[in-house]
């Protein structure tokens, strides 16, 4: 009978030692969690004020165009908060070296015939500039197209759909 009591005592003692070794109070660092949460919120607020949803837009890329326009992002214009600064990435699809290009754009309401717009020219004799930014009103529709491309070999491509 003593043998069973000793075995039971060893089992209970082993269980208690396991509990004592495995138990450690879990400390939660509230200061670290609060500071981390504050940093996350500040980064979120900064990103929210800098980046905006894109305006309603249309990008006219034809398969015959030597450059392709891709939308990148929209942010608040630092000089005028009522306007948006829309960034576009420009990709060279022609395989030839580009010395400069012009991006045409129109900004206005879809029902308005007197849209504002213009041509944004980018020229650099050394390297191809792969981005362009266009300033537009926040509530208007933006239409963008490749207007012309100048190549380093002296030739020029002009968009025949938008000759004005």
Q: Where are the domains of the chain?
A: 2-50, 53-162
Provide the whole-model pTM. 0.60
The answer to whether 141 touches 151, Cβ cutoff 8 Å, is no
CA angle 54–55–58, rounded 5-degree value: 105
**Cα 137 to Cα 119: distance, rounded to the nearest angstrom:** 16
Q: What separation in angstroms does the CA of 18 have from each of 4, 7, 91?
A: 21, 16, 65
> pLDDT per residue over 10-49, tens digit each?
999 998 888 877 776 666 566 666 666 667 776 666 555 5
53-162: CATH number: 2.60.40
> pLDDT per residue over 132-142, tens digit each?
888 877 677 88
The answer to whether 128 touches 98, Cβ cutoff 8 Å, is yes
The pLDDT of 67-83, averaged and rounded, is 81
Percent of the chain whose pLDDT exceeds 90: 2
> pLDDT per residue over 90-125, tens digit each?
888 888 888 888 888 887 765 555 556 666 667 766
Q: Output b/e per residue, 52-66; b: 16+ Cβ within 10 A.
A: beebebeeeeeeebb
Residue 65 has pLDDT above 60, yes or no: yes
């Amino acid at each position: 009978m003593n043998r069973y009591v000793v075995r039971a005592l060893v089992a209970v003692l082993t269980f208690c030692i396991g509990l004592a070794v495995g138990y450690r109070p879990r400390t939660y660092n509230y200061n670290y969690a609060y500071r981390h949460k504050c940093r996350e919120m500040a980064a979120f607020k900064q990103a929210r004020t800098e980046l905006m949803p894109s305006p309603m837009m249309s990008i006219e890329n034809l398969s015959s165009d030597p450059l392709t326009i891709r939308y990148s992002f929209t942010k608040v214009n630092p000089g005028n908060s009522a306007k948006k600064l829309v960034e576009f990435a420009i990709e060279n699809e022609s395989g030839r070296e580009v010395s400069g290009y012009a991006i045409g754009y129109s900004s206005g309401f879809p029902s308005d015939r007197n849209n504002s717009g213009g041509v944004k020219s980018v020229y650099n004799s050394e390297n191809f500039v792969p981005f362009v930014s266009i300033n537009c009103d926040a509530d208007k529709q933006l239409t963008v197209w490749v207007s012309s491309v100048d190549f380093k070999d002296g030739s020029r491509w002009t968009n025949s759909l938008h000759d004005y």
